Amino acid sequence: MSSSVQLFRDQKYQELKGQCIDQRRLFEDPEFPASDESLFYMRAPPRKVEWKRPKELCEDPHLFVNGISSHDLHQGTLGNCWFVAACSCLALQETLWQKVIPDFKEQEWDPKKPEKYAGIFRFRFWCFGEWTEVVVDDLLPTMDGKLIYCHSNVKNEFWSALLEKAYAKLAGSYEALDGGSAADAIVDFTGAVAESIDLIQGRYKEIISEQMKLFEDLLKVHERGGLISCSITASSGSANEMETKMGLIIGHAYSVTAIQKLRLGERLILSFKAEKLFMIRLRNPWGKREWNGAWSDNSEEWKKVSNSERKRLGLTVENDGEFWMTFEDWCKNFTDVDICRIVNTSYFSVHKTWEKKMMRGAWTKNSEPLLNRSGGCFDNRETFLQNPQYIFDVKKTEDKVLVSLQQEDRRRYKKEGKGESIPIGFEILKVEDNRSYRLHKLTVQERVATSMYINTRTVFLKRVLKQGRYVLIPTTYHPGIVTKFVLRLFTDVPSKLRELKADKPEMTCWSLLCGYPRRVTQIKIHSAEDLQKQDRSGGADPYVLIKCENQQVRSAIQQDTTSAVFDTQVIFYRKNIDSPIVVQVWNSNVLCDQFLGQALLAASPGDPREQQTLQLRGRGSQEAAEVPGRITVKVFSSDDLVEL
């Protein structure tokens, strides 16, 4: 077993199995006993539940019968359609379910060696940033000799019932699985990045261009091994599990099992004249009750489709819970979709490879403001910056950034009445290009992205960011809430994501010899105007160089202009406060860059804090000769090192 896999309750599968085989007994799990406490945390079962092993339910039990399929699963009496829908999605991807059910051949019943069977199974889930192995026995809850929860459509197949038991053990009880999100279960099965989309709010049924973009996005996710589920939120006048006129169930999770462009028409000798339809296939976890509109199993529309195309689509006309519909009808009838992307981080791939960074953190309370880490959302201006802060860099001119913030799974706290997810979200601020200490004041920082704040386990955001340095601040909506989180960031090139822990430069023994900063200064170089022309076309390729003591920060080069907008921010912790900060403008050349002028800034606390425009001068003192061009800057200084 990989050392990266954690053991739930420290139970070692091979060791426990070996003990059972040696003692010729079947495993009984002391951590999840065959009793009512494993079934319910609030109520007692309506009738007596009997725990039985598969051998007591059929003659020839198997983990799998004829492989694994999304048709294997049927929801039982538990309200966990979301879990069953996630299992149906999982069954579509062999590489994914084999991570969840490791060494499945070794776990299978072997009729030739019955003495090797110990009634013990193991499953793995991606829990809060790491794979966790959960061990269970094969005692399953039954009534009248039948499984009462998730089961297969084949009587002697038990992978789904055993997987559900392992997931219930992780949650604390079967009842803790009553109600949930298919996206959460898919993330637990795969480590995917989950994104939830509100189809009503996004007006996907009305705006055809957005509808087509979503179809292409879902098609790409599906083709690259991602998993998708959808549902219909109950509105006023409707209730969960009510059936619509079109045969769909409200408040019920469906798994997406295929996305296709369907060809209508006949192939000609030299060309192909056909109409293309955008289609989606869904499965109801109940294994019955299907869509009865256009393109349902027995609808007239299928007569337009050739036999070869039907075969390619795998069309079956059965009441098996699986059905096709057009993407347009899907957008009109469903309200929510959960997209779980398997983000590719492998360098040996034909698809885009993402750079991934993951951080574990926590919101914690402390009466000392500089130590408090639970400041609430941006609306709490006095405490917002007391939250954990993470810094990262965008190295390209522009880069697409994926951010996933996940709070700990709270299902296990349902028994204490604290099972609801906490509203969480995050802000992304553009900060100084050289910042390496925590933010303490919102001054020139620009809010470039804000996630939604919602009480779901995961909050996701996709955004294109410009080159520069950013601080990402994960928060609870309300201040003073304590819980843990996992933060994941995906970029095209390495982002160097790291937590900002220090408030200011550290005082060391060297500080006594070399001096300790006495002043903090923040500078924003907005622009430069009317610079000296440097080439035949009348332009220049300017950049700014900001120098302070032994530090310097260089801006990006602006191409072919004598009036450039830089929007470059820097921050310095200064030991020699009598030495001015030098802001120089240079022209970029292939062989040797050319000095265009500079300005000297005293940057004292009493200096004006408003934006100011300064004349460029030659090298030397403040009285050096003027040269063409001006720069517009904003400066703020303080002798309190934790003010900025």
Catalytically annotated residues: 81, 252, 284
- CB burial of 495-527 (b: ≥16 within 10 Å; e: otherwise) equals bebeebeeebeeeeeeeeeeeebebbbbbbbbb
Of 403, 400, 431, which is closest to residue 493 (Cα–Cα)? 400
Q: Phi and psi for 475 in degrees, rounded to 5?
A: -145, 155
By the 10 Å C-beta count (0-12 exposed, 13-18 middle, 19+ buried), 158 is classed as buried
- CA pair distance 483, 481, nearest whole angstrom: 7
CA distance to 9, 113, 370, 503, per residue, from 367 (Å): 34, 63, 9, 17
Query: Residue 142 corresponds to which amino acid?
Result: T
d(CA 558, CA 543): 6
Closest by Cα among 598, 595, 605 to 621: 598
Sign, Cα dihedral of 170, 175, 181, 183: positive
Measured distance CA(405)–CA(427) in Å, rounded:
11
Chain centroid to CA 439: 25
57 in helix, strand or coil?
Answer: helix
Helix axes 182-190, 81-90, angle to 10 degrees: 40
DSSP string, 529-587: ESPPP-STTS---EEEEEEETTEEEE-PPPPS-SSEEEEEEEEEEES-TTSPEEEEEEE
Distance CA 18, CA 435 (A): 56
Amino acid at 441: K
Quote the tokens at residue 304.
Answer: 């337009």
Q: Quote the CA–CA distance of 392 and 438 in Å, as a whole number.
A: 13
The DSSP line for 435-471 is: --S-----SS-EEEEE---BSSSEEEEEEEEEEEEEE
Cβ atoms within 10 Å, residue 281 = 20
Contact (Cβ atoms closer than 8 angstroms) between residue 454 and residue 425: yes
Separation of CA 235 from chain center: 28
Phi (first) and psi of residue 322, to 5 degrees = -110, 140
Rounded to an integer, what distance in angstroms lies between the CA atom of residue 87 and that of residue 92?
9
* Full strand arrangement of the beta sheet holding 120-127: 6-7, 130-137, 120-127
Strands 6-7 and 130-137: parallel
- Cα dihedral 217, 220, 224, 228 in deg (nearest 10): 50
Provide the 3-class DSSP secondary structure of residue 427.
strand
- Give the CA distances from residue 498 to residues 209, 495, 501, 610, in Å, rounded to whole numbers and listed in that order: 38, 9, 9, 32
Could you give the CA distance from residue 254 to residue 82 in angstroms, rounded to a whole number? Answer: 8
Instruction: Round to whole Å and give the CA distance between 563 and 603.
Output: 24
